[in-house]
Structure 1
Amino acid sequence: MRNIEFGLMTFADMEPEKELGKGTNAYRRIQDLLEEIKLADQLGIDMFGIGEHHRPDYAVSSPTTVLGAASAVTKNIKLSSAVTVLSSDDPVRVYQQFATVDAISGGRAEIMAGRGSFIESFPLFGFDLNDYNELFEEKLDLLLKINRSEKITWSGNLRAPIHGLGVYPRAVSGEIPIWLAAGGTPASAVRAAKLKLPLMLAIIGGLPRQFTPFFDLYRKSAHENGIAAEDLQVGVNNHMYVGEDAEKVASEFFPHYAKMMDRVGRSRGWQPMSRPQFDFMRAPEGSLLVGSVEQVVEKILYQHQLFGFTRFVAQSSLGTLPHELTMKSIEIFASQVVPEVKRRLGVG
């Protein structure tokens, strides 16, 4: 069986600032975040991803800045965005910033490119939401060309052309690994396959088995585009909080998780999260990895059976869960869950 990577990620959730114009909560959250990344590195986790948001309830709008800081205090862990909202950014600057992180880290930078789950960055940076799909396709094309070639000539409809110019610095590791992040739309699976990119799927609700057609489509499209099955990389991302006692863990986590999901859901027309809904998501075939070590192990194995992923990423610090509880969950995930999953799958 192929090797499987295990990662962690976060959006760096925080309480909005209470004092106008000051970043007190963001300061504390980012200090805590650096501790989480250092711990993950020390415990042998393969990668850590940081999301990009432009809202008062998230601390990181510039993942590369935090990844650069993390590069200097870690040794082995791969450092990725999760995601870079490429539609509202400039591919030249994205590449330059990640190449810089690559230099600081000694070749450990990765990019997870996506369209993002929020739209605040579009008006903030002056982009028209009517161009939502075209912006992503055009900018992804440019980013891939920059990643593959030092000097490029390129033109599109929504950005000024580039005529035989070099983009510097270049990555230590040659090409920076670029993953395509998706929410489950068929077009995303086909796009990733046509571009020969690894695919990461976030499963934050419902039943994971509902996404098997998505991965089937990716594999079928990859085959049609000349990608050998053994060269495919697919990843799954779930919300996670793990501890020794299942019911204690659930009771600790529920109020923080429900508060976070309700905050996000108010703008999307979701009903407030109930405890029965939460418990349904925690069930053996549900999407939420909250419970004991054995429960989380079984759910990861179940999803591997469904999808055959090569990378599993747990979203490990969510909502207002206290930092010390997040650190404990990371420790248990790295020292107990991951080794047991590897043992049962027979991977190194």
Structure 2
Amino acid sequence: MSVVQDGPYREQRGIDGMSSLSDDSDLAKFIYWDNLTYAPPGSRDPEKWDAKLGAQIYESYLDHCVEAEGLGYSGLSMPEHFGPSSLVTHPNIMLAALAARTKRARIVSGVNLALLHRPMHLAEQFAMIDVLSGGRLEVGLGRRGDRAAFEHAADLVDGTLNEIDCPVAKDDLTPATAPFAQDVETAKITVWPRPVQRRVPLWVAAETDGSLAAAARRGWNVFTGLNLDPAAGGMSKVGVNEMVGRLDRYIEIGRENGHELSMANTAASCFTVVADTDREAAELVRDGFASHVEAASGHLARLAGAHPDESSLETLAKEGDTGVQGVFEASADSYLENPFALVGSVETVRGKLDALLAAGFRRFVLLCGGVGNTHEIGWQTAKAMAEDVAPDLFSAARSATTVPDAR
């Protein structure tokens, strides 16, 4: 069932001039990421999370993404988050809207949890988004559950989306394709419509030696993961030198397997808050996490039948490894000390960014609208990064992604 196309449609692939995130290895590129949360102050009162407020946040996010593109952001992204405060339980719907609203920036799924979906359905959705965007999609997949099962799901998405020789077993077929493959153990399946790009870039969230090696062998790009752990007092789980060492090995393994990888194939996910002072920025991060946990616990308690005035935080904090206690015990200073957290004043964040650049990082997912912080706070940070912290880097990225006037 593999379909190979000829003619004008196939020839149009790759002529739009828009480079992928991993292209232009010496150029610093930034991805604007927002969690699209109701919180705060609404996070503490879930009954106010109505459709009207949700629609306002969606519209504001889409408008800001258009502006972010103009500021020089190379990519636009959001997570797949489930919970009482999240508005992006199915981010691919928003990615399709971004495809219609924007023209130059790469559209990045950051990330879809592959094991929560049928991989073949995800591949079909990604193909549609790539066509809608004119070939600007970058697929991001994250693991939740068994590693081997995740790698298999990612292989299926990559293989069927990009026509890689990846036979699909009966159990992985969709109901639409299964009737045509009743007499075979595996089938070569490709999605329809075909993507615009000859190879849709695939990124996976990877941080451990094992996950990085698996990605390297396949030539996948990697997000280094959210290096901010509120349950560990706001500190990163992995230091800069250790992370760079792991990424060097990732690049080496990739090259051993025939893939020309570099630091441009890696992206540091950085929780980002820029404010007038270091203290203000750090407290925004700490309060955002606390607000999110409080909202989530209160909402789930009510679903379980608790009275609206009752709080389950004390109970959660005593439940072993939930991490709740660490969220509330983390000091504001711990977020400033984290080298991967671009948190602080303009001067402080500029210094942290310079240190990451000096370490070799060239791709940054800026988690501006992070867990618990309002969309507007996130957008103020996104603008400050482009206009105040690193205007020269954003200007260079903007010039590199300018689409020539067809006239």
- TM-score by length of structure 2 reads 0.71
Gap change, CA 1:243 and 1:22, over 3 Å in 2 = closer
Does the alignment pair 1:214 with 2:214? Answer: no
Identity of aligned residues (%): 23
1:279–1:230 CA distance, 2 compared to 1 (3 A): closer
**Is 1:78–1:109's contact at 8 Å kept on the other side of the alignment?**
yes
State the 1:339 CA deviation: 2.5
Is the Cα contact below 8 Å between 1:114 and 1:181 reproduced in 2? Answer: yes
Counterpart of 2:306 in structure 1 is: none
The structure having more radius of gyration, on CA atoms, is 2
Contact 1:281 1:287 in 2 (8 A): no
CA contact (8 A) 1:84 1:112 kept: yes
SS at match of 1:273: helix
Kindly indicate whether residue 335 of structure 2 is the aligned counterpart of residue 322 of structure 1.
no
In the alignment, is the contact (CA less than 8 A) between 1:241 and 1:289 conserved in 2?
A: yes
Q: How far apart in 2 are the matches of 1:323 and 1:24?
A: 15
Q: Does 1:172 align with 2:196?
A: yes
Any gaps of 5 or more consecutive residues in structure 1?
A: 117-128
Letter in 2 for 1:185: T
Please tell me the residue identity of whatever aligns with 1:180. Answer: V
Q: CA–CA distance in 1 between the matches of 2:287 and 2:166?
A: 51
Change (3 A) 1:250 1:93: same
Q: Which has the higher strand share?
A: 1
Distance 2:220 2:347 in 1: 33
Contact 2:126 2:137 in 1 (8 A): yes
Q: Distance in 1 between matches of 2:380 and 2:27?
A: 26
Structure 1 residues 216 and 248, CA gap change in structure 2 (3 angstroms)? same
User: What are the within-5 Å matches in structure 2 for residues 127-146 of structure 1?
Assistant: 132-146=146-160
Match of 2:333 among 279, 288, 292: 279
CA deviation vs aligned residue, 1:283-325 (integer Å, no higher than 9, x gap): 2x5332111122112112212333x223111101124433333
Partner of 1:126: none
> Which is further off, 229-238 or 35-44?
229-238
Q: Which residue of 2 aligns with 1:311?
A: 363
Which protein, 1 or 2, shows the higher relative CO under an 8 Å CA cutoff with sep ≥ 6?
2
What amino acid is aligned across from residue 281 of structure 1 in structure 2? Y
Equivalent position amino acid for 1:204 in 2: L
Give the superposition deviation at 1:38: 2.1
User: Structure 2: how far apart are the matches of 1:225 and 1:35?
Assistant: 42
Q: Could you tell me whether the CA contact under 8 Å between 1:249 and 1:291 is conserved in 2? A: yes
Q: Would you say 1:201 and 2:255 are equivalent positions?
A: no
Query: Unaligned regions of 5+ residues in structure 2, if any?
Result: 1-24, 174-184, 230-234, 298-315, 401-407
- Equivalent-residue separation in structure 2 for 1:218 and 1:51 (angstroms): 24
Question: What is the aligned length?
Answer: 328
**SS at structure 1 position matched to 2:213:** helix
* Contact persistence 2:72–2:395 (CA under 8 A): no
- 1:185, 1:253 → 2: CA distance? 25
Give the letter for the 1:215 counterpart. L
Match of 2:269 in 1: 237
Aligned CA distance change for structure 1 residues 216 and 13 (closer, same or farther; 3 Å)? same
2: CA distance, partners of 1:260 / 1:20: 15
Structure 1 match to 2:102: 74
What's the offset of the Cα at 1:93? 1.6
State whether residues 297 and 340 of structure 1, in contact with CA within 8 Å, keep that contact through their aligned partners in structure 2.
no
